[in-house]
Amino acid sequence: MKEFFGFGGYSRPAEGFLSWQHLSFVTLLMAVMTVLAIWLGKKYRHSDKKNQVLIAAAFLIDGFELFKIVVLCLRSGSFSPVLYELPLFLCSIQLITIPLAAFAKGRIKEAALDFVSIFGLLGAVLGTYGAGNNYGTYPVLSMDNVVSGITHSISGFCALYIFIAGLASLKKENIPITLGILFSFCIAAFAANEALDYNYMFLRRGDGTPYDIFFNLLGGHPVFYPLTVVGLFVIYIGIFYYIRFLLRKKNT
């Protein structure tokens, strides 16, 4: 248990990013995530209890994240890890938007559902298959990677469940709210990076993730690189809504 939680540091070497251990573990998570989303989505699609699944997911994702932060604080013997575990990555925004999707009302709930459905699956894939920063540093079966894999999988689960259960509206009038959520977190991440010399939202560098492609193309430019990252988010939202529009048009 001491080795799993990393007290005193991990004695096992990291198996490595894209190793068979990494790929096997995250593929198992993605399989479980997909099966549960399809099963529960179909089960509750025509039920008035469909929101209860999101409530459970909200408690689980925040519970696992809080548990991880407590362990990190115990490992370091201080509260400093809290500053570096703020929900200011694209994936960790779901720590806030999933509870909003579960408990909010009206347009806020609709916009939160849309945000989770748009970014949840992308975050799940990037945060598992693309997490070179984690799997290149820690052993696959360690608290850091297992909890991260679970929380990212919950985000992906929620995205799939929202679609299958018929909870996504993706109304055009909610796009400004969705963009507002994204830009607010990007601004907060930029400010936190400046204050803490950190890399929230990967606005400073790629850190072994697919963002390294753009970081290297732009030579790590301190202005163009973060603008490109934010621009990619906006382009992704646009493509997502466009595909949704085409599918709706085809079905009508």
pLDDT the model gives residue 171: 81
pLDDT in 10s for each residue of the chain, 252 residues:
888 998 888 889 999 999 999 999 999 999 999 999 999 999 999 998 999 999 999 999 999 999 999 999 999 889 988 999 999 988 889 999 999 999 999 888 998 999 999 999 999 999 999 988 899 899 999 999 999 999 999 999 999 999 999 998 888 888 888 889 999 999 999 999 999 999 999 999 988 888 999 999 999 899 999 999 999 999 998 888 888 788 777 766
Question: Could you give the CA distance from residue 212 to residue 210 in angstroms, rounded to a whole number?
Answer: 5
Question: Could you give the CA distance from residue 159 to residue 184 in angstroms, rounded to a whole number?
Answer: 21
Scan for tokens 């560098």, then name that residue. Answer: 205
211 is written with which tokens?
């963002």
Q: Which of 70, 118, 127 is nearest to 97 (CA)?
A: 118
Question: Could you give the CA distance from residue 48 to residue 160 in angstroms, rounded to a whole number?
Answer: 18
Distance from chain centroid for Cα 42: 24
- Alpha-carbon distances of 157 from 5, 26, 45, 132, 210, rounded to whole Å: 25, 14, 15, 22, 22
Half-sphere exposure of residue 3: CA atoms within 13 angstroms, side-chain side: 7
pLDDT the model gives residue 240: 86
What SS3 class is residue 130? coil
Q: DSSP secondary-structure letter at 173?
A: G
244 is written with which tokens?
């949704």
pTM for the whole structure: 0.90
Question: Could you give the CA distance from residue 193 to residue 83 in angstroms, rounded to a whole number?
Answer: 11
